[in-house]
Amino acid sequence: MEATTQTEERLLSESQDGEVQDGGAPEETLVDMLNLYEGMTIEVLTLDNKLTFVGKVMRFNGTTITIRDSVGRELPPVLYNKEIKLRCFQGADTLVMHGQVCGSNRQIWKVDRLKNMFVEEKRAFFRQGVNLTVQVVCERLGEDARQCRVLDVSAGGLLLRSREPFEEGDLLSVDGVRVVKEEAPFSFLCRVRGVRPGDWSGRLFGCQFTELASKEEDRLLRAIFTAQRRDIQNKKDFEG
């Protein structure tokens, strides 16, 4: 656990004294399972899962989280009462919350009205853009493997680009999906749920996983989270 520095204590005092504007009192406490602690890494995202910054918890009083940037950078401006998403990791578990910004300055954000959203969002969100060559076998077309491109992947499915004559309802076996180098490649069984026109390189096929063991789903989410953190760090390095 990291100790709170004198500078951070001053910032917290300023926020309590009114230099950080507040958007209102907290409406509700978070679920009892939440165990945030000082120095804990927490990711701040938009509601459509774009990573805004990686932060550290400065204080949590049961209803409001005060967050700073993990390496001391200035934070981006934000509208008061803006709804955001927070993601943190507790051992092997992942916690996802929605909350609203109730105060901010260039060093800290304060977030309250927290709700635990992981169960609702686990399969629907956390989509990561990729550009991977994979091998695909279509049950309807026979056992020959066909080379396709995976354009994005989530805990619920993936987006393929291909010139192959896949159709809505086809069952596909997709092999060789490597989201990050730290995780072994994934193999998925999925069904085509939508077909969209593409360009000269092929049509787009939205596919939903039909069989994904819970351990593999957790491994996939871990890989997606790693890729998202790396993307935002690379963007900051490029801009900075």
Q: Name the residue ranges covered by the structural domains of the chain.
A: 6-121, 128-221
Fold agreement between 6-121 and 128-221: yes
Contact 55, 41 (CB under 8 A): yes
Interval 159-174: pLDDT, tens: 999 999 999 999 999 9
CATH code, residues 128-221: 2.40.10.220
Virtual torsion, Cα 65, 70, 72, 75, nearest 10 deg: -60
Whether 104 shows a pLDDT value over 90: the answer reads: yes
CA distances from 154 to 63, 134, 161, 169, 222 (A): 30, 16, 16, 19, 11
Residue (of 165, 167, 177) closest to 206 by Cα position: 167
Mean pLDDT of 120-127: 56
Strand, helix or coil for residue 86: strand
Of 221 and 152, more confident: 152
Amino acid at 96: V
Task: List, for residues 164-209, the tens digit of each pLDDT value.
Answer: 999 999 999 999 999 999 899 999 999 998 899 888 889 999 998 8
Nearest to 47 by CA among 77, 87, 104, 15: 87
C-alpha 39/C-alpha 109 separation (Å) is: 15
The mean per-residue pLDDT over the stretch 122-135 comes to: 77
Residue scoring higher pLDDT (11 or 212)? 212
Phi and psi at residue 221, to the nearest 5°: -60, -40
Q: Which CATH architecture has domain 6-121?
A: Beta Barrel (2.40)
